Amino acid sequence: QLRGANLRVVVTGSAGYVGQECVRLITLHGGSVVGIDRYPDRVDGTPSTLVADLGDPNEVSDSLDRAVSRLGGLDAVVCAAAVMHQNATTDASVGVGGWLHTMQVNVDGVITLLQGSHPHLARSRGPRSAVVVGSLVAALGSASSELAYTASKGALTSACREMAIVWAKDGIRLNVVAPGPLAGGLFPVGEEDSVETQRLKRIPLRRRGSATEVANVVHFLLSDHASYITGAVIPVDGGASAAFLA
């Protein structure tokens, strides 16, 4: 069993595909979780969930304060919330509204929450850490154009690596997990067989990943088994980033 089991954790996107599994694993190992999500009605078994629009900085700050109050402190943060607008996928169709909202949620909202969590994490006596769920597309782009989403994940990943350097002096670790195509969530699922076949050919393990496989890495990074890992971007992509153009 991983050490750091009694963590007090805030998980954003706790009603999402990856977020729900992160909540399940953390609580399974004895952690306490408060989730933050815009769609709490989708949550199944989350102990405590706050409703907030992560594109609104005031709601982000307020929900974080309430979450920390409920937990009695804060040892770790998992940022798993994200949006992908269907009308903001290509350079031809992306609109200003879709672009701005994607950036507000996927970048500004995450950075606001991380900055607000810093003083709480600095006071923690546990394995202080934050894990942000990024994406393979941040570094490699997407075979199916997702302009706003890809750009947001690239900006977020760069910002997190920079923040990790600053946070290290306070003993707080910050890492990014970069999933490849998953069997649920924001990634396109249920496409034509020919499209899916071509996608899977780019993945050496020849399948999509699961939320559990991502959450296992997130939970490891939260624990003190990962005590010498910070500023890392860890792919969970079936080998796609190692042979993406093969």
Q: Is 39 a catalytic residue?
A: no
Identity at 39, one-letter amino acid code? Y
What is the SS3 assignment for 155-221?
A: HHHHHHHHHHHHHHCCCCEEEEEEECCECCCCCCCCCCHHHHHHHHHCCCCCCCECHHHHHHHHHHH
Give the burial class of 210: count Cβ atoms within 10 A of its Cβ; 0-12 exposed, 13-18 middle, 19 or more buried.
Answer: middle
3-class secondary-structure state, position 151: helix
DSSP letter at 238 equals T
Question: Cβ contacts of residue 23 below 8 Å, gap of 6+?
Answer: 11, 14, 33, 35, 45, 46, 47
Catalytic residue (choose from 17, 39, 149, 228): 149
Q: Reading across the β-sheet that carries 8-12, which strands appear in turn? A: 49-51, 32-37, 8-12, 76-79, 129-133, 173-179, 233-236
Q: Are 123 and 105 in contact (CB under 8 A)?
A: no
**φ and ψ of 127, to 5 deg:** -75, 85
Pairing assessment for the beta strands 233-236 and 173-179 based on DSSP bridges: parallel
What whole-number distance in Å separates Cα of residue 210 and Cα of residue 197? 18
**What positions carry a catalytic annotation?**
149
